[in-house]
Structure 1
């Protein structure tokens, strides 16, 4: 994903009610977490979605992401949110981080790259 695509997606999230947590040290922003809260259409319970997490490179491995998530989980819990979700690529840094902070896999999304249309017609 390019920087432009990332900013476009984050702007859409913020426009649709997304919320932002910012961690600052002195005058510097060192971490950002963007999340949204929505109602489950099946159960009508409130769910949280962690849309984006970023910690500045020189502040990583200091517990900032964990602290942002801990603060968010406390806030969501007292706000009536029952579960929170975070989508990331399998075996990525985000995946390893999310497991380290106690998140568990609950779903698997599989992908298959499709050949060009000419190849698909030949196989039929």
Structure 2
């Protein structure tokens, strides 16, 4: 994830800051532009949970950006997206090693 976020910063000027969530495996990020202003939010649920999740990986928006609240000088509602994957979690001190198939699945689910 650090490599991916570093690439997003280099190519797009995006800075992702992790925020607190209710589950240790789910990550929630504030996506900021190069000036540090929030432009979106992003949930990432990477690990396999066979009893709770279907197979594969998918990404969708939870809330779309909306200019409704910006009328009268307010800020627009920022979009929220989520990506759910089924990568095996790390075991003990060993990191989770992602297979080529899992990388392909994540890339396909995000539309790239």
Q: Decide which structure has greater helix share.
A: 1
Larger Rg: 1
TM-score between the two structures when normalised by the length of structure 2: 0.31
In the superposition, the TM-score normalised over structure 1's length comes to 0.29
